């Protein structure tokens, strides 16, 4: 009989599993705390569980970590793990230490089917969705390994910010994502604040609406272009869910949490999407309204990302002065704008453009090589 992986459950799922073993909910809470708060795998170590339960668990369940293929530590403290997820596939997680917080960038799929032009993961194609257990195993491993390494005391944690910005489009793996998010937020799990867990999406509109209902964590949207013709080229999902629909979904998302904001991610590509005119189009986009509910604009900030070049992309990083000028146009219009610092350059740890190895089942690389990249230097505003 194959063993059930307890990392696959949020607390509700673990409660149902324990009830199936004839155990009460408070036992599930104890077990959940052992696994996620203390990093325990060995049921024998879980001293406040009845011996009979520990014995049952040992024959039916396990806490299954991911095998680490490699770990690289940058001179700036950034850590990148490459995890084996079987079948020749690997995914990456990156820990980014900052003065006031520790952020973990987590993968949701082996590869990605969206195929953004500037993303090395997109160029590799898609292999499969990760399970809830495989998503959580990245956080479980990183948190407990870093706690030991940094000699943190009881109650201290290494990671207080999680961004679902690694390999994959998280909202195309929704069923596995939501229990993982709930475990991150659960006070008996990792106890992270709702605003310190971010789902980054390329714009899967129907799932943005569901996320608002099911687990409204912080939302980041990979925008990368201010108009549909250009975004169709850079983020192919735009052909299905164009910018106007995406912005409506963002607007509706914020209606559940009016004090929140959307972070728009914008990868700066030399001569492609980085002119002052593009910046002005962005301002027009996020200011446009009034909307159906009578409110105006979208509460947002922009995060400008220096492109991490890779040979197959045919694209170049915008010069630093261009990025600064672009940021100034946005900031002068009163939009909070940050430029992402490049971290872990010496270990190739660009978050969101992670380069693992997947068995491509979509032949993405072949398709992208065949399709010409048409670049719109300054195209008209969005369809709407």
The reply, when asked if residue 267 is annotated as ligand binding, is: no
- Which residues contact ligand SF4 by CB under 6 A? 112, 114-116, 119, 121-122, 167-169, 202, 222
Do the beta carbons of residue 2 and residue 10 sit within 8 Å? no
351 is catalytic: yes
Please identify, using beta-carbon distances, which residue of 46 and 230 lies nearer to ligand SF4: 230
Query: CB 115 → ligand SF4: shortest distance, Å?
Result: 6
Of residues 121 and 263, the one with the C-beta less far from ligand SF4? 121
Gap between the Cα atoms of 28 and 8, Å rounded: 14
- How many CB atoms within 10 Å of residue 138? 26
Shortest distance in whole angstroms from residue 62 CB to ligand SF4: 30
Rounded to a whole number of angstroms, the minimum distance from the CB of residue 96 to ligand SF4 is 17
Among the listed residues 76, 98, 95, 72, the one whose alpha carbon sits nearest the alpha carbon of residue 144: 95
**What span, in angstroms and rounded, lies between the C-alpha atoms of 301 and 186?**
27
Nearer to ligand SF4, 106 or 119 (CB): 119
Residue 20 marked ligand-binding = no
List residues bridging with 222 in a β-sheet.
265
- 18, 267, 300, 351: which one is catalytic? 351
Q: Which is nearer to ligand SF4, 11 or 237 (CB)?
A: 237
Q: Say how far apart CA 136 and CA 182 lie, in whole Å.
A: 11
What is the smallest separation between the CB atom of 16 and ligand SF4, expressed in angstroms?
Answer: 32
- In this structure, which long-range contacts are made by residues 18-23, counting pairs with CB atoms below 8 Å and at least 24 apart in sequence? 21/53, 21/56, 21/57, 21/60, 23/53
Is 222 annotated to bind a ligand? Reply is: yes
Tell whether 169 is in a known binding site: yes
Q: Under DSSP, is residue 339 helix (H, G, I), strand (E, B) or coil?
A: strand
CA dihedral 196, 91, 78, 314 (to 10 degrees): -100
Closer residue to ligand SF4 (CB): 114 or 269? 114
Please tell me whether 111 is known to bind a ligand: no
CA gap 144, 139 in Å, rounded: 8
Half-sphere exposure of 302 (CA within 13 A, CB side): 29
According to the annotation, is 112 in a ligand binding site? yes
**Please, are residues 238 and 195 in contact by the beta-carbon 8 Å criterion?**
no
92 catalytic? Reply is: yes
Which residue number, 89 or 121, has a Cβ lying nearer to ligand SF4? 121
- Shortest distance in whole angstroms from residue 161 CB to ligand SF4: 19
Tell me how far, at minimum, the Cβ of 66 lies from ligand SF4, in Å. 19
Q: Which residue's Cβ has the minimum distance to ligand SF4?
A: 122
Shortest separation between residue 365's beta carbon and ligand SF4, angstroms: 12
Of 197, 179, 200, give the one whose Cα is nearest residue 266.
Answer: 200
Q: Which residues contact 274 (CB under 8 A, 6 or more apart)?
A: 268, 318, 322, 323, 326
Known binder of ligand: residue 119?
yes
Burial 251-275 (b: 16+ CB within 10 A, else e): bbbbeebeebbbbbbbbbbeebbbb
Q: Which of 18, 23, 92, 250 is catalytic?
A: 92
CB closer to ligand SF4, 112 vs 298: 112
Residue 16 to residues 94, 293, 351, Cα–Cα distance (Å): 32, 41, 36
Confirm or deny that 127 is annotated as ligand binding.
Answer: no
Q: Which residues are annotated as a binding site for [4Fe-4S] cluster?
A: 112, 116, 119
Q: Which residues are annotated as a binding site?
A: 112, 116, 119, 168-169, 200, 222-224, 308
Q: Which residues are catalytic?
A: 92, 351
Q: Which residues are annotated as a binding site for S-adenosyl-L-methionine?
A: 168-169, 200, 222-224, 308
């Amino acid at each position: 009989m194959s063993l059930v992986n307890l990392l696959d459950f949020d607390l509700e799922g673990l409660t149902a599993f324990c009830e199936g073993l004839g155990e009460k909910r408070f036992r599930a809470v104890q077990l959940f705390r052992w696994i996620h708060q203390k990093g325990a795998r060995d049921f024998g170590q879980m001293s406040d569980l009845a011996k009979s339960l520990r014995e049952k668990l040992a024959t039916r369940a396990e806490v299954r970590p991911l095998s680490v293929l490699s770990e690289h530590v940058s001179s700036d403290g950034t850590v990148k793990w490459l995890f084996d997820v079987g079948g020749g596939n690997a995914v990456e997680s990156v820990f980014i230490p900052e003065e006031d917080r520790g952020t973990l960038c987590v993968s949701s799929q082996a590869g990605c089917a969206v195929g953004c032009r500037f993303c090395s993961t997109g160029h590799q194609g898609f292999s499969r969705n990760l399970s809830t257990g495989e998503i959580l195993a990245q956080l479980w491993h990183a948190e407990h390994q870093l706690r030991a390494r940094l000699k943190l005391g009881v109650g201290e944690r290494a990671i207080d910010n999680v961004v679902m910005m690694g390999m994959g489009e998280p909202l195309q793996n929704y069923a596995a994502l939501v229990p993982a998010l709930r475990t991150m937020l659960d006070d008996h799990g990792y106890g992270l604040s709702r605003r310190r867990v971010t789902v980054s999406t390329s714009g899967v509109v129907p799932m943005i609406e569901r996320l608002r209902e099911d687990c409204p964590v912080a939302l980041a949207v990979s925008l990368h272009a201010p108009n549909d013709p250009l975004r169709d080229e850079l983020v192919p999902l735009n052909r299905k869910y164009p910018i106007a629909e995406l912005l409506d979904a963002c607007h509706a998302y914020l209606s559940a949490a009016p004090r929140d904001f959307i972070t728009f991610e914008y990868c700066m590509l030399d001569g492609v999407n980085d002119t002052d005119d593009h910046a002005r189009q962005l301002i027009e986009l996020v200011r446009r309204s009034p909307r159906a509910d009578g409110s105006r604009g979208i509460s947002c900030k922009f995060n400008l990302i220096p492109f991490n070049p890779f040979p197959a992309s045919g694209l170049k990083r915008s010069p630093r002065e261009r990025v600064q000028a672009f940021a100034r146009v946005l900031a002068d219009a009163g939009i909070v704008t940050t430029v992402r610092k490049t971290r872990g350059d010496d270990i190739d740890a660009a978050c969101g453009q992670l380069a693992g190895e997947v068995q491509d089942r979509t032949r993405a690389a072949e398709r992208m090589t065949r399709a010409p990249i048409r670049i719109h230097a300054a195209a008209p505003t969005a369809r709407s």
